[in-house]
Amino acid sequence: MPLDIAANVQILGPIEGRAVEILTPEAVAFVADLHRRFDGRRRELLAARQARQARFDAGELPDFLAQTSHVRAADWRVAPIPADLLDRRVEITGPVDRKMIINALNCGAKVFMADFEDATAPTWANVVEGQVNLKDRWNGVLDHVDPKSGKAYALGANPAVLKVRPRGWHLPERHLEVDGAPVAGALFDFGLYVFHNVRAAIEQGSGPYFYLPKLESHLEARLWNEVFVRAQEALGLPVGTFKATVLIETIPAAFEMDEILFELKDHIVGLNCGRWDYIFSFIKRLGRTPAFLTPDRSAMVMGKAFLGAYSLKLIQTCHRRGAFAMGGMAAQIPIKGDEAANLAAFAKVRADKEREAGAGHDGTWVAHPDLVPVAMEVFNRLMPTPNQLDKTLEGLEITQAQMLELHDGARTETGAREAIRVGVRYTQAWLEGRGAAPLYNLMEDAATAEICRTQLWQWVRLAAELDDGRVLTSELFISLFTQEMGDLRREFGSPRLEEAAHLFTRMVLSDTLEEFLTLPAYELIG
Protein backbone atom coordinates (compact mmCIF):
# COMPACT_ATOMS: atom_id res chain seq x y z
CA MET A 1 0.00 0.00 0.00
CA PRO A 2 1.36 3.47 -0.80
CA LEU A 3 2.07 5.68 2.18
CA ASP A 4 0.45 9.13 2.10
CA ILE A 5 3.07 11.22 3.86
CA ALA A 6 1.40 14.58 3.12
CA ALA A 7 -1.28 16.02 0.89
CA ASN A 8 -0.79 14.53 -2.60
CA VAL A 9 2.59 13.02 -1.67
CA GLN A 10 2.92 9.24 -1.77
CA ILE A 11 5.83 6.92 -1.03
CA LEU A 12 5.33 3.78 -3.11
CA GLY A 13 8.37 1.86 -1.88
CA PRO A 14 8.68 0.08 1.46
CA ILE A 15 9.95 2.10 4.41
CA GLU A 16 11.90 -0.54 6.29
CA GLY A 17 14.69 -0.47 8.84
CA ARG A 18 16.65 2.76 8.83
CA ALA A 19 14.73 4.16 5.87
CA VAL A 20 12.54 5.91 8.44
CA GLU A 21 15.55 8.13 9.29
CA ILE A 22 15.79 9.29 5.66
CA LEU A 23 12.18 9.46 4.52
CA THR A 24 10.97 11.72 7.31
CA PRO A 25 7.93 13.91 6.63
CA GLU A 26 10.16 17.01 6.70
CA ALA A 27 12.71 15.60 4.27
CA VAL A 28 10.06 14.35 1.86
CA ALA A 29 8.29 17.72 2.03
CA PHE A 30 11.59 19.40 1.11
CA VAL A 31 11.91 17.16 -1.99
CA ALA A 32 8.24 17.72 -2.85
CA ASP A 33 8.78 21.48 -2.77
CA LEU A 34 11.67 21.17 -5.23
CA HIS A 35 9.54 18.97 -7.47
CA ARG A 36 6.63 21.40 -7.53
CA ARG A 37 8.86 24.34 -8.31
CA PHE A 38 11.13 22.79 -10.93
CA ASP A 39 9.72 19.63 -12.47
CA GLY A 40 7.78 21.48 -15.16
CA ARG A 41 10.92 23.22 -16.34
CA ARG A 42 12.87 19.93 -16.20
CA ARG A 43 10.34 18.33 -18.54
CA GLU A 44 10.50 21.29 -20.91
CA LEU A 45 14.26 20.95 -21.09
CA LEU A 46 14.05 17.22 -21.81
CA ALA A 47 11.65 18.05 -24.65
CA ALA A 48 14.15 20.64 -25.90
CA ARG A 49 16.74 17.86 -26.20
CA GLN A 50 14.45 16.04 -28.61
CA ALA A 51 13.77 19.19 -30.61
CA ARG A 52 17.50 19.72 -30.96
CA GLN A 53 17.94 16.08 -31.96
CA ALA A 54 15.46 16.60 -34.78
CA ARG A 55 17.60 19.48 -36.02
CA PHE A 56 20.74 17.31 -35.86
CA ASP A 57 18.93 14.60 -37.82
CA ALA A 58 18.06 17.24 -40.43
CA GLY A 59 21.73 18.13 -40.87
CA GLU A 60 22.46 20.78 -38.25
CA LEU A 61 25.76 20.30 -36.41
CA PRO A 62 26.63 21.22 -32.83
CA ASP A 63 28.35 24.60 -32.72
CA PHE A 64 29.15 27.47 -30.39
CA LEU A 65 25.98 29.51 -29.82
CA ALA A 66 25.71 32.87 -31.56
CA GLN A 67 23.20 34.18 -29.01
CA THR A 68 25.63 33.72 -26.11
CA SER A 69 28.81 35.03 -27.77
CA HIS A 70 28.79 37.93 -25.31
CA VAL A 71 29.20 35.48 -22.41
CA ARG A 72 32.20 33.86 -24.07
CA ALA A 73 33.77 37.23 -24.91
CA ALA A 74 33.34 38.88 -21.48
CA ASP A 75 35.83 38.70 -18.63
CA TRP A 76 34.36 37.06 -15.54
CA ARG A 77 35.36 34.35 -13.11
CA VAL A 78 33.58 31.80 -10.95
CA ALA A 79 33.26 32.37 -7.20
CA PRO A 80 36.20 31.41 -4.94
CA ILE A 81 36.80 27.69 -4.43
CA PRO A 82 36.60 26.20 -0.89
CA ALA A 83 39.90 25.31 0.76
CA ASP A 84 39.26 21.57 0.85
CA LEU A 85 38.69 21.50 -2.93
CA LEU A 86 41.85 23.37 -3.96
CA ASP A 87 43.84 20.14 -4.45
CA ARG A 88 41.90 17.45 -6.30
CA ARG A 89 44.76 15.71 -8.04
CA VAL A 90 43.28 12.21 -7.70
CA GLU A 91 39.58 11.48 -7.29
CA ILE A 92 37.99 8.07 -6.94
CA THR A 93 34.40 7.25 -7.87
CA GLY A 94 32.08 4.44 -6.95
CA PRO A 95 28.61 3.35 -5.88
CA VAL A 96 26.92 4.20 -2.60
CA ASP A 97 27.37 0.69 -1.17
CA ARG A 98 28.48 0.93 2.48
CA LYS A 99 31.73 -1.04 2.29
CA MET A 100 32.74 0.65 -0.96
CA ILE A 101 32.13 4.12 0.50
CA ILE A 102 34.40 3.32 3.46
CA ASN A 103 37.14 1.89 1.24
CA ALA A 104 36.97 4.83 -1.16
CA LEU A 105 37.10 7.44 1.61
CA ASN A 106 40.10 5.65 3.13
CA CYS A 107 42.06 4.89 -0.06
CA GLY A 108 44.28 7.98 -0.15
CA ALA A 109 42.48 9.83 -2.93
CA LYS A 110 41.85 13.54 -2.41
CA VAL A 111 38.15 13.29 -3.29
CA PHE A 112 35.57 10.50 -3.39
CA MET A 113 32.49 10.87 -5.58
CA ALA A 114 29.63 8.83 -4.15
CA ASP A 115 27.62 7.98 -7.23
CA PHE A 116 23.84 7.63 -7.31
CA GLU A 117 24.06 7.79 -11.10
CA ASP A 118 25.94 5.52 -13.54
CA ALA A 119 27.68 3.39 -10.89
CA THR A 120 24.48 2.62 -8.96
CA ALA A 121 21.53 0.60 -10.17
CA PRO A 122 18.71 2.73 -8.73
CA THR A 123 16.72 0.07 -6.94
CA TRP A 124 14.69 1.50 -4.07
CA ALA A 125 16.90 -0.35 -1.58
CA ASN A 126 20.10 0.98 -3.17
CA VAL A 127 19.11 4.65 -3.25
CA VAL A 128 17.66 4.70 0.27
CA GLU A 129 20.54 2.73 1.80
CA GLY A 130 22.96 5.04 0.01
CA GLN A 131 21.39 8.00 1.79
CA VAL A 132 21.69 6.17 5.13
CA ASN A 133 25.37 5.51 4.46
CA LEU A 134 26.14 9.15 3.62
CA LYS A 135 24.25 10.36 6.67
CA ASP A 136 26.32 7.99 8.80
CA ARG A 137 29.50 9.40 7.27
CA TRP A 138 28.67 12.90 8.51
CA ASN A 139 27.39 11.61 11.85
CA GLY A 140 30.67 9.80 12.49
CA VAL A 141 29.15 6.31 12.64
CA LEU A 142 30.11 4.90 9.24
CA ASP A 143 31.35 1.36 9.88
CA HIS A 144 30.63 -2.08 8.48
CA VAL A 145 31.22 -5.75 9.25
CA ASP A 146 31.28 -8.04 6.23
CA PRO A 147 28.75 -10.80 6.95
CA LYS A 148 30.75 -13.37 4.97
CA SER A 149 34.31 -12.71 6.14
CA GLY A 150 33.63 -11.03 9.46
CA LYS A 151 36.10 -8.29 8.49
CA ALA A 152 35.40 -4.92 10.09
CA TYR A 153 35.57 -1.63 8.17
CA ALA A 154 35.66 1.86 9.68
CA LEU A 155 36.35 5.39 8.53
CA GLY A 156 40.00 6.42 8.87
CA ALA A 157 41.43 9.59 10.36
CA ASN A 158 41.90 11.51 7.10
CA PRO A 159 39.09 10.60 4.70
CA ALA A 160 38.77 11.94 1.19
CA VAL A 161 36.58 14.96 0.58
CA LEU A 162 33.06 13.75 -0.24
CA LYS A 163 31.19 14.75 -3.38
CA VAL A 164 27.84 13.30 -4.41
CA ARG A 165 26.57 12.66 -7.93
CA PRO A 166 22.76 12.62 -8.16
CA ARG A 167 21.02 11.04 -11.09
CA GLY A 168 20.69 12.93 -14.38
CA TRP A 169 17.69 15.05 -15.28
CA HIS A 170 16.16 12.27 -17.38
CA LEU A 171 15.76 9.55 -14.72
CA PRO A 172 12.62 9.38 -12.56
CA GLU A 173 12.29 8.08 -9.01
CA ARG A 174 9.05 6.20 -9.38
CA HIS A 175 8.78 5.31 -5.68
CA LEU A 176 7.99 8.90 -4.69
CA GLU A 177 5.03 10.63 -6.30
CA VAL A 178 3.99 14.23 -5.83
CA ASP A 179 0.62 15.33 -7.21
CA GLY A 180 0.41 12.04 -9.08
CA ALA A 181 3.77 12.34 -10.88
CA PRO A 182 7.10 10.67 -10.05
CA VAL A 183 9.78 13.04 -8.81
CA ALA A 184 13.06 13.37 -10.69
CA GLY A 185 15.78 11.05 -9.44
CA ALA A 186 18.07 14.10 -9.47
CA LEU A 187 15.88 16.04 -7.03
CA PHE A 188 15.32 12.97 -4.85
CA ASP A 189 19.05 12.23 -4.49
CA PHE A 190 20.10 15.85 -4.10
CA GLY A 191 17.23 16.90 -1.84
CA LEU A 192 17.53 14.09 0.68
CA TYR A 193 21.31 14.43 0.87
CA VAL A 194 21.37 18.17 1.55
CA PHE A 195 18.39 18.08 3.91
CA HIS A 196 20.08 15.56 6.19
CA ASN A 197 23.76 16.45 5.85
CA VAL A 198 24.44 20.05 4.89
CA ARG A 199 24.97 21.41 8.40
CA ALA A 200 27.13 18.52 9.57
CA ALA A 201 29.32 18.83 6.48
CA ILE A 202 29.82 22.56 7.05
CA GLU A 203 30.48 22.13 10.77
CA GLN A 204 33.21 19.59 9.96
CA GLY A 205 35.04 22.02 7.70
CA SER A 206 33.74 20.77 4.38
CA GLY A 207 30.48 21.41 2.56
CA PRO A 208 27.72 20.09 0.30
CA TYR A 209 29.68 19.26 -2.85
CA PHE A 210 28.27 17.70 -6.02
CA TYR A 211 28.99 16.32 -9.46
CA LEU A 212 26.23 17.13 -11.96
CA PRO A 213 25.88 14.62 -14.82
CA LYS A 214 24.69 14.55 -18.41
CA LEU A 215 23.79 18.21 -18.88
CA GLU A 216 23.15 19.10 -22.53
CA SER A 217 22.86 22.87 -22.36
CA HIS A 218 23.51 25.95 -20.26
CA LEU A 219 19.76 26.15 -19.71
CA GLU A 220 19.93 22.81 -17.91
CA ALA A 221 22.77 24.25 -15.82
CA ARG A 222 20.58 27.27 -15.09
CA LEU A 223 17.91 24.93 -13.73
CA TRP A 224 20.42 23.34 -11.34
CA ASN A 225 21.44 26.82 -10.22
CA GLU A 226 17.82 27.67 -9.48
CA VAL A 227 17.46 24.43 -7.52
CA PHE A 228 20.59 25.30 -5.51
CA VAL A 229 19.31 28.81 -4.75
CA ARG A 230 15.92 27.55 -3.62
CA ALA A 231 17.40 24.75 -1.47
CA GLN A 232 19.82 27.15 0.20
CA GLU A 233 17.00 29.59 0.88
CA ALA A 234 14.79 26.87 2.38
CA LEU A 235 17.63 25.62 4.59
CA GLY A 236 18.69 29.11 5.69
CA LEU A 237 22.04 29.02 3.91
CA PRO A 238 23.78 31.78 1.95
CA VAL A 239 23.96 31.65 -1.83
CA GLY A 240 27.14 29.87 -2.87
CA THR A 241 27.11 27.28 -0.08
CA PHE A 242 26.59 24.42 -2.53
CA LYS A 243 29.50 23.72 -4.86
CA ALA A 244 29.39 21.62 -8.00
CA THR A 245 31.59 20.22 -10.72
CA VAL A 246 29.76 19.65 -13.99
CA LEU A 247 30.62 16.67 -16.13
CA ILE A 248 31.02 17.65 -19.76
CA GLU A 249 29.92 14.32 -21.15
CA THR A 250 27.56 15.31 -23.95
CA ILE A 251 28.50 16.76 -27.30
CA PRO A 252 26.04 19.71 -27.07
CA ALA A 253 27.38 20.73 -23.65
CA ALA A 254 30.94 20.80 -24.97
CA PHE A 255 29.98 23.77 -27.13
CA GLU A 256 28.47 25.59 -24.12
CA MET A 257 31.18 25.22 -21.47
CA ASP A 258 31.60 28.96 -20.90
CA GLU A 259 27.86 29.37 -20.63
CA ILE A 260 27.51 26.46 -18.17
CA LEU A 261 30.20 27.98 -15.95
CA PHE A 262 28.47 31.34 -16.17
CA GLU A 263 25.03 30.02 -15.22
CA LEU A 264 26.48 28.31 -12.14
CA LYS A 265 29.23 30.82 -11.39
CA ASP A 266 28.24 31.24 -7.71
CA HIS A 267 28.17 27.48 -7.23
CA ILE A 268 30.65 25.88 -9.62
CA VAL A 269 34.25 24.85 -9.03
CA GLY A 270 35.08 23.05 -12.25
CA LEU A 271 34.27 20.88 -15.24
CA ASN A 272 35.21 17.25 -15.84
CA CYS A 273 35.95 15.28 -19.02
CA GLY A 274 33.40 12.47 -18.81
CA ARG A 275 34.99 10.54 -21.64
CA TRP A 276 32.82 7.40 -21.84
CA ASP A 277 29.50 9.22 -21.78
CA TYR A 278 30.97 11.72 -24.26
CA ILE A 279 31.53 8.93 -26.81
CA PHE A 280 27.98 7.71 -26.14
CA SER A 281 26.62 11.22 -26.68
CA PHE A 282 28.64 11.67 -29.89
CA ILE A 283 27.07 8.54 -31.34
CA LYS A 284 23.59 9.27 -29.98
CA ARG A 285 23.42 12.85 -31.24
CA LEU A 286 25.31 12.48 -34.56
CA GLY A 287 25.32 8.76 -35.27
CA ARG A 288 22.44 8.70 -37.73
CA THR A 289 24.72 10.48 -40.22
CA PRO A 290 27.16 8.36 -42.30
CA ALA A 291 29.88 11.02 -41.92
CA PHE A 292 30.04 10.16 -38.22
CA LEU A 293 30.22 6.36 -38.51
CA THR A 294 32.48 5.46 -35.59
CA PRO A 295 35.33 2.93 -35.46
CA ASP A 296 35.79 0.33 -32.71
CA ARG A 297 35.50 1.82 -29.23
CA SER A 298 39.15 0.94 -28.57
CA ALA A 299 40.20 3.29 -31.40
CA MET A 300 38.51 6.32 -29.82
CA VAL A 301 41.24 7.38 -27.43
CA MET A 302 41.81 10.59 -25.50
CA GLY A 303 44.39 12.91 -27.03
CA LYS A 304 43.14 12.42 -30.57
CA ALA A 305 40.30 13.72 -32.78
CA PHE A 306 37.13 14.97 -31.07
CA LEU A 307 38.15 13.67 -27.64
CA GLY A 308 41.51 15.42 -27.71
CA ALA A 309 40.00 18.68 -28.95
CA TYR A 310 37.31 18.82 -26.29
CA SER A 311 39.68 18.02 -23.44
CA LEU A 312 41.96 20.90 -24.42
CA LYS A 313 38.99 23.22 -24.89
CA LEU A 314 37.79 22.27 -21.41
CA ILE A 315 41.15 23.11 -19.83
CA GLN A 316 41.35 26.43 -21.66
CA THR A 317 37.77 27.40 -20.77
CA CYS A 318 37.99 26.43 -17.11
CA HIS A 319 41.32 28.10 -16.39
CA ARG A 320 40.25 31.35 -18.01
CA ARG A 321 37.34 31.42 -15.53
CA GLY A 322 39.21 30.30 -12.41
CA ALA A 323 37.64 26.85 -12.41
CA PHE A 324 39.28 23.43 -12.29
CA ALA A 325 39.59 21.19 -15.35
CA MET A 326 39.33 17.60 -14.21
CA GLY A 327 40.59 14.69 -16.30
CA GLY A 328 38.76 11.51 -17.16
CA MET A 329 38.36 8.02 -15.78
CA ALA A 330 40.95 5.27 -15.63
CA ALA A 331 38.70 2.21 -15.57
CA GLN A 332 41.42 -0.42 -15.28
CA ILE A 333 41.33 -2.80 -12.30
CA PRO A 334 44.04 -5.15 -10.97
CA ILE A 335 44.45 -8.34 -13.02
CA LYS A 336 44.96 -11.12 -10.53
CA GLY A 337 47.19 -14.02 -11.50
CA ASP A 338 48.80 -12.34 -14.52
CA GLU A 339 51.53 -9.96 -13.44
CA ALA A 340 52.59 -9.08 -16.99
CA ALA A 341 49.05 -8.09 -17.96
CA ASN A 342 48.68 -6.16 -14.72
CA LEU A 343 51.89 -4.21 -15.36
CA ALA A 344 50.77 -3.44 -18.91
CA ALA A 345 47.39 -2.17 -17.67
CA PHE A 346 49.00 0.07 -15.06
CA ALA A 347 51.47 1.39 -17.65
CA LYS A 348 48.50 2.39 -19.82
CA VAL A 349 46.99 4.25 -16.87
CA ARG A 350 50.29 5.99 -16.16
CA ALA A 351 50.63 7.17 -19.77
CA ASP A 352 47.06 8.47 -19.80
CA LYS A 353 47.57 10.40 -16.57
CA GLU A 354 50.85 11.84 -17.85
CA ARG A 355 48.97 13.13 -20.89
CA GLU A 356 46.34 14.73 -18.65
CA ALA A 357 48.78 16.34 -16.25
CA GLY A 358 50.99 17.53 -19.09
CA ALA A 359 48.04 19.08 -20.92
CA GLY A 360 47.02 21.10 -17.86
CA HIS A 361 44.33 19.14 -16.05
CA ASP A 362 44.07 19.83 -12.32
CA GLY A 363 43.33 16.24 -11.37
CA THR A 364 41.96 12.97 -12.61
CA TRP A 365 39.59 10.06 -11.90
CA VAL A 366 40.25 6.43 -11.07
CA ALA A 367 37.79 3.59 -10.50
CA HIS A 368 39.82 1.34 -8.19
CA PRO A 369 41.83 2.07 -5.01
CA ASP A 370 44.90 0.29 -6.44
CA LEU A 371 45.12 2.97 -9.14
CA VAL A 372 45.27 5.83 -6.66
CA PRO A 373 49.07 5.51 -6.07
CA VAL A 374 49.68 5.25 -9.83
CA ALA A 375 47.76 8.44 -10.63
CA MET A 376 49.06 10.21 -7.52
CA GLU A 377 52.68 9.59 -8.48
CA VAL A 378 52.10 11.09 -11.92
CA PHE A 379 50.34 14.23 -10.68
CA ASN A 380 52.80 14.71 -7.81
CA ARG A 381 55.65 14.56 -10.31
CA LEU A 382 54.11 16.71 -13.05
CA MET A 383 51.92 19.00 -10.92
CA PRO A 384 53.89 19.95 -7.76
CA THR A 385 51.42 22.78 -7.05
CA PRO A 386 47.86 22.10 -5.78
CA ASN A 387 46.41 22.77 -9.24
CA GLN A 388 47.31 24.23 -12.65
CA LEU A 389 44.98 27.21 -12.88
CA ASP A 390 47.91 29.24 -14.18
CA LYS A 391 48.14 27.02 -17.28
CA THR A 392 45.74 29.00 -19.46
CA LEU A 393 46.49 27.60 -22.96
CA GLU A 394 46.22 31.19 -24.15
CA GLY A 395 46.33 31.49 -27.92
CA LEU A 396 45.09 27.95 -28.50
CA GLU A 397 42.16 27.89 -30.93
CA ILE A 398 39.84 24.89 -30.96
CA THR A 399 37.39 24.99 -33.86
CA GLN A 400 34.02 23.38 -34.42
CA ALA A 401 35.61 21.12 -37.03
CA GLN A 402 38.21 19.88 -34.53
CA MET A 403 35.49 19.25 -31.95
CA LEU A 404 33.68 17.03 -34.46
CA GLU A 405 36.69 15.26 -36.01
CA LEU A 406 36.17 11.50 -36.10
CA HIS A 407 38.85 9.10 -34.90
CA ASP A 408 40.60 6.93 -37.47
CA GLY A 409 40.23 3.21 -37.01
CA ALA A 410 38.62 0.04 -38.26
CA ARG A 411 35.31 -1.56 -37.44
CA THR A 412 35.95 -5.19 -36.61
CA GLU A 413 34.12 -8.38 -35.74
CA THR A 414 36.18 -8.42 -32.56
CA GLY A 415 34.88 -4.98 -31.67
CA ALA A 416 31.29 -6.02 -32.36
CA ARG A 417 31.63 -9.15 -30.25
CA GLU A 418 33.16 -7.21 -27.38
CA ALA A 419 30.30 -4.70 -27.52
CA ILE A 420 27.80 -7.56 -27.32
CA ARG A 421 29.52 -9.25 -24.38
CA VAL A 422 30.13 -6.10 -22.36
CA GLY A 423 26.72 -4.61 -23.13
CA VAL A 424 24.76 -7.70 -22.16
CA ARG A 425 26.87 -8.53 -19.10
CA TYR A 426 26.66 -4.98 -17.77
CA THR A 427 22.90 -4.84 -18.35
CA GLN A 428 22.59 -8.12 -16.46
CA ALA A 429 24.58 -6.71 -13.53
CA TRP A 430 22.43 -3.55 -13.51
CA LEU A 431 19.22 -5.57 -13.44
CA GLU A 432 20.69 -7.57 -10.55
CA GLY A 433 21.23 -4.34 -8.63
CA ARG A 434 24.91 -3.61 -9.35
CA GLY A 435 25.75 -0.42 -11.20
CA ALA A 436 29.55 -0.85 -11.11
CA ALA A 437 30.63 -4.17 -12.64
CA PRO A 438 34.17 -5.54 -13.14
CA LEU A 439 34.13 -6.91 -16.69
CA TYR A 440 37.14 -8.10 -18.67
CA ASN A 441 39.67 -6.24 -16.49
CA LEU A 442 37.79 -2.93 -16.51
CA MET A 443 35.38 -1.41 -13.99
CA GLU A 444 32.37 -0.64 -16.14
CA ASP A 445 29.36 1.56 -15.45
CA ALA A 446 26.27 2.45 -17.43
CA ALA A 447 28.17 4.66 -19.88
CA THR A 448 30.04 1.67 -21.32
CA ALA A 449 26.85 -0.27 -21.96
CA GLU A 450 25.43 2.82 -23.63
CA ILE A 451 28.41 2.99 -25.99
CA CYS A 452 28.05 -0.70 -26.79
CA ARG A 453 24.37 -0.63 -27.71
CA THR A 454 24.41 2.73 -29.55
CA GLN A 455 27.48 1.79 -31.57
CA LEU A 456 25.99 -1.54 -32.63
CA TRP A 457 22.73 0.27 -33.48
CA GLN A 458 24.69 2.73 -35.61
CA TRP A 459 26.68 0.04 -37.40
CA VAL A 460 23.55 -1.97 -38.24
CA ARG A 461 21.54 1.12 -39.16
CA LEU A 462 24.22 2.53 -41.48
CA ALA A 463 25.28 -0.87 -42.89
CA ALA A 464 28.82 -0.43 -41.61
CA GLU A 465 31.54 -2.30 -43.44
CA LEU A 466 33.88 -4.30 -41.21
CA ASP A 467 37.60 -4.54 -41.89
CA ASP A 468 37.10 -8.00 -43.50
CA GLY A 469 34.71 -6.57 -46.10
CA ARG A 470 31.48 -7.87 -44.59
CA VAL A 471 28.62 -5.53 -43.76
CA LEU A 472 27.18 -5.63 -40.23
CA THR A 473 23.62 -6.39 -41.24
CA SER A 474 20.96 -7.25 -38.68
CA GLU A 475 21.41 -10.89 -39.75
CA LEU A 476 25.16 -10.81 -39.05
CA PHE A 477 24.55 -9.06 -35.74
CA ILE A 478 22.05 -11.76 -34.71
CA SER A 479 24.54 -14.47 -35.72
CA LEU A 480 27.34 -12.93 -33.64
CA PHE A 481 24.93 -12.27 -30.78
CA THR A 482 23.71 -15.88 -30.77
CA GLN A 483 27.29 -17.18 -30.62
CA GLU A 484 28.27 -14.84 -27.80
CA MET A 485 25.11 -15.62 -25.83
CA GLY A 486 25.96 -19.33 -25.97
CA ASP A 487 29.19 -18.63 -24.11
CA LEU A 488 27.53 -16.19 -21.69
CA ARG A 489 24.75 -18.63 -20.85
CA ARG A 490 27.25 -21.36 -20.02
CA GLU A 491 29.15 -19.11 -17.64
CA PHE A 492 26.58 -16.59 -16.32
CA GLY A 493 23.18 -18.05 -17.15
CA SER A 494 20.26 -16.65 -15.17
CA PRO A 495 16.80 -15.17 -15.77
CA ARG A 496 18.36 -11.69 -15.51
CA LEU A 497 20.84 -12.58 -18.27
CA GLU A 498 17.91 -13.46 -20.52
CA GLU A 499 16.13 -10.21 -19.65
CA ALA A 500 19.33 -8.29 -20.39
CA ALA A 501 19.80 -10.07 -23.72
CA HIS A 502 16.22 -9.36 -24.78
CA LEU A 503 16.44 -5.68 -23.85
CA PHE A 504 19.86 -5.24 -25.48
CA THR A 505 18.89 -6.84 -28.80
CA ARG A 506 15.60 -4.95 -28.92
CA MET A 507 17.43 -1.65 -28.54
CA VAL A 508 20.14 -2.51 -31.09
CA LEU A 509 17.62 -3.64 -33.72
CA SER A 510 15.06 -0.89 -33.10
CA ASP A 511 14.25 1.51 -35.92
CA THR A 512 14.75 4.40 -33.50
CA LEU A 513 17.69 5.04 -31.19
CA GLU A 514 16.38 5.26 -27.65
CA GLU A 515 17.75 8.01 -25.43
CA PHE A 516 18.94 5.86 -22.53
CA LEU A 517 19.29 2.14 -21.86
CA THR A 518 18.58 2.81 -18.19
CA LEU A 519 15.05 4.12 -18.83
CA PRO A 520 13.52 0.83 -20.06
CA ALA A 521 15.85 -1.12 -17.73
CA TYR A 522 14.47 0.86 -14.78
CA GLU A 523 11.06 -0.70 -15.41
CA LEU A 524 12.60 -4.13 -14.75
CA ILE A 525 14.09 -3.46 -11.31
CA GLY A 526 12.58 -3.02 -7.83
Which residues are part of the catalytic machinery?
Answer: 165, 445
The residues, ordered by sequence, that sit 6+ positions from 271 with a Cβ below 8 Å of its Cβ are 245, 246, 247, 248, 257, 260, 261, 314, 317, 318, 323, 324, 325, 326
Neighbours of 57 (CB within 10 A): 13
Distance of CA 364 to CAs 151, 153, 171, Å? Answer: 31, 26, 27
Phi, psi dihedral angles at 442 (to 5 degrees): -130, 145
Long-range contacts from 35-44, C-beta under 8 angstroms, 24+ separation? 35/178, 35/181, 35/183, 35/184, 35/187, 36/178, 36/179, 37/230, 38/187, 38/223, 38/226, 38/227, 38/230, 39/178, 39/181, 39/183, 39/184, 39/187, 41/223, 41/226, 42/169, 42/184, 42/186, 42/223
DSSP string, 275-289: HHHHHHHHHHHHTTS
Of the candidates 284, 303, 288, 307, the one whose C-alpha atom is nearest the C-alpha of residue 406 is: 307
